[in-house]
Structure 1
Amino acid sequence: MVDDREDPPPSVRAATVLGAHWGLLAFFAGIGGYYLLTLVMAVVLAGHVDVGDPLQPRELGPVILLAFLPNLLLGLGPVVGSRLRGRGPRADFGLVPTARDVKVGLACGGFALLAGYLLNLLLLGTYGPERMFEGPLADLSSGLGDSLGWLVVAAVIVVLVAPVTEELLFRGALWNALDHHRVPPWAILLFTALVFAHLHDQPARTIALLGQGVAIGAARLITGRTGASVVAHAANNLPPALLLFAAP
């Protein structure tokens, strides 16, 4: 008997791993690498970093900025997956912003800032200022002090590096995978925003981060390109990064 069923196109076969889009594997690889490296660093640094002795001043910049090292793995998974199974990062993600990406990204970034401000204002009465203002940026501003060089490095990471790696993971690999499996765009927008909020591990600000994630993801939804959401994410992170230099 002749089997006259057509095989899927080579591009479709190459894009899947065990029937799932390669973006799902890249997403879990990025998330897994992030948490694994965070755990390893916590174990290695435990008991070896003492920042509490004022009589023995230390250069805290390199130690504190190590906290951002796992963030790089978030973007590494999607990049490797795209090179192995996809068409390359530029084609798969539209990572290099176009003029339209910049316009849409800046607009969505502005909405993200507004959403974050209003939601944080509402949550302030529930959680109090101590819990609302704790987080990685607060730790950076207190730990780096007036070390201008390290403050500049931290600001570059917050405005440029973190948006690229996180958007590659959420609005890149994960978004593409869900879209490949025909998940409705509105559901992809909400789900990626929810995972984005959860990754930041700031329970008091989860609702605000969810709102910001929706606004940032809207840039990807409107343009179909990750480059637009990178611009939106960078615009959203710019004011907090500038506040690093204003910290006492």
Structure 2
Amino acid sequence: MLDDVVATRYVAPLREGGSLPGIVEADDLGLYVLKFTGAGQGRKTLVAEVICGELARRLGLRVPRLVTVALDPVLGLAEPDPQVQGLLKSSGGTNLGMEFLSGALGFDPLAFTVPREEAGRVLWFDALVNNVDRSWRNPNLLRRDGETWLIDHGATMIWHHNWPTAAASAARPYDAGDHALLRFAPDVRAAAADLAPLVTEELLAEVTAAVPDVWLAGEPGFDTPGELRRAYARPLLERAATIHERVQGDR
């Protein structure tokens, strides 16, 4: 399960993302990038962030710590920006926080280098979760103290937007032609040999359990959050074994 914190102060918006995430201070005195339940992309984006972020962490990739953030809409009363005020007012309750990495820089594939092995592990993971948002145009990577960190996994597992066609969608190849780390000659097969055996039913049950029930409740076609969690795990378990054979554009 994720740790729970309470937002005590809205600090500033981050206007790089389409969903207008913001930096908040919490009752543990930490700073977090807040992803709002009231944002246009909806709660499925937060579900993807948790499942993919926690899975990446357990596979040895660097992901900022994730927490659930309790937000009181009253924090929006003093905000002069109507868009920010609207987000705060519509996102009362449980939201997602990502630890703010002070001093981190946006990743530039022309300015930084990544070892071939690490590039392969990141690309394999992105293929596993079908991340369509790790391109050289928008890497969704940060660099701090010589280390590369993965962020923003809301545009993953696109099959969860249409569960009746999820199996067919999850069976498709992964197009890596625009991947941010392609220039570092990622060794995807070596990554698959190391990481695929780690993706077990037990591991996926653990990471899907980190998603709050409130973000899973009411999904059409599913009677319980537990049933929906298993639906999230199933394609990932199936893809782990063979997705390295269906990565396209990586050579």
Compare CA radii of gyration and give the structure with the larger one. 1
Which structure has more relative contact order (CA 8 Å, sep 6+)? It is 1
**Which TM-score applies when normalising by structure 2?**
0.29
**Which TM-score applies when normalising by structure 1?**
0.30
Q: By percentage of residues, which structure has more strand?
A: 2
